[in-house]
A and B are shown apart, each in its own frame.
Chain A
Amino acid sequence: MNNSEWPLWEVFIRSKQGLDHKHVGSLHAADAAMAMQNARDVYTRRLEGVSIWVVESRHIHASNPDEAAEFFDPAADKVYRHPTFYDVPESIKHM
Chain B
Amino acid sequence: METLAPDLSPEAQFQARIDADLRIEPKDWMPEAYRKTLIRQISQHAHSELVGMLPEGNWITRAPSLKRKAILLAKVQDEAGHGLYLYSAAETLGTSRDQMLADLHSGKAKYSSIFNYPTLSWADMGCVGWLVDGAAILNQVPLCRTSYGPYARAMVRVCKEESFHQRQGFEIMQTLCEGAPVQKEMAQEALNRWWWPTLMMFGPKDADSPNTEQSMKWRIKRFTNDELRQKFVDMMVPQAEFLGLKVPDEKVRWNEERQAYDFGEVDWEEFWNVVKGNGLCNHERLQARVQAHEEGAWVREAALAHAAKRKERAAVA
**Interface residues, chain A, CB within 8 Å of chain B?**
1-2, 4-6, 8, 25-28, 30-31, 34, 41-42, 45-46, 62, 64-66, 68-69
Contact = CB atoms under 8 A, between A and B. Distances in A.
Interface stretch (B95-103, B189-197, B226-234, B267-275): B95-103
Interface in B154-169: 154, 157, 161
A88 B306 CA distance: 65
A25 B85 CA distance: 7
B91 interface: yes
A30 B84 contact: no
Given A5-B97, A30-B307, A45-B161, 10 more contacts: A4-B300, A4-B301, A6-B300, A25-B89, A31-B310, A34-B303, A45-B78, A45-B81, A65-B25, A66-B29
A63 to B, nearest CB: 9
A1 B2 CA distance: 39
B98 A5 contact: yes
28 contacts: A1-B102, A5-B96, A5-B97, A5-B98, A6-B300, A8-B91, A25-B85, A25-B88, A25-B157, A26-B91, A27-B84, A30-B300, A31-B303, A31-B311, A41-B77, A41-B81, A42-B81, A42-B85, A45-B74, A45-B78, A45-B161, A62-B27, A64-B27, A65-B1, A65-B28, A66-B1, A66-B29, A69-B1
A42 B304 contact: no
Contacts of B157: 25
Contacts of B97: 5, 28
Contact of B77 (A4, A6, A45): A45
Contacts of A62: 27
A22 to B, nearest CB: 11
B205 interface: no
B3 interface: yes
A1 B105 CA distance: 11
A28 B2 CA distance: 31
A46 B97 CA distance: 26
B1 A4 contact: no
A34 B85 CA distance: 17
Contacts of A66: 1, 29
A44 to B, nearest CB: 10
